[in-house]
Amino acid sequence: MTTSPSHNVFVYGSFQEPAVVNLILECSPITVSAQLHGFHRYRLKGRLHPCISPSHTGVINGKVLTGLTDGQLENLDMIEGTEYERKTVEVVLTDTSEKMQVETYVWANKDDPNMYGEWDFEEWKRLHMDKFIEASKKFIEWKKNPDGRSREEFMKFVLDDTPSA
């Protein structure tokens, strides 16, 4: 049996939360803290999740999920959908300053008018994490049994339904 190469993926949003990752990947990957230079992490109007887009002065703190299988990467691709493009980037590991080539999800529309401000992980944990964990459970159920349930059904869960102030 040939083993497929494993993937390392830099995450900067809800996937920094082990509870979410463990549900989506159905395992607990080893994670390392890292920084991605040359990108900014934005909030997205009407969404609970952030996106990143190139920015000369930007630095994003996040985590690298290491040793993912093709199947786990496919799960991430599915959940990120077509609005993100998976790209290879170089991150710097926080503890060792070592550089590492990893994959990450970059917002496909770099001129999206819905991008604004700075996304805050701690605020997300406080306000939205529970809802996101529910959404992740629904996603896995849907993936195992897609009949009659659409991805839209899952997407409803990750949209921000709090009335804007």
Which residues touch 121 (CB under 8 Å, ≥6 apart)? 13, 16
- Integer Cα distance of 58 and 143 in angstroms: 35
Helix ranges (DSSP H) in the chain:
18-25, 70-80, 121-144, 151-158
Residue in 17, 74, 80, 98 annotated catalytic: 80
Among residues 152, 121, 100, the alpha carbon closest in space to that of 50 is found at: 121
Active site residue 83: no
SS3 97: coil
SS3 165: coil
27, two tokens: 């395992």
Residues with a known catalytic role:
80
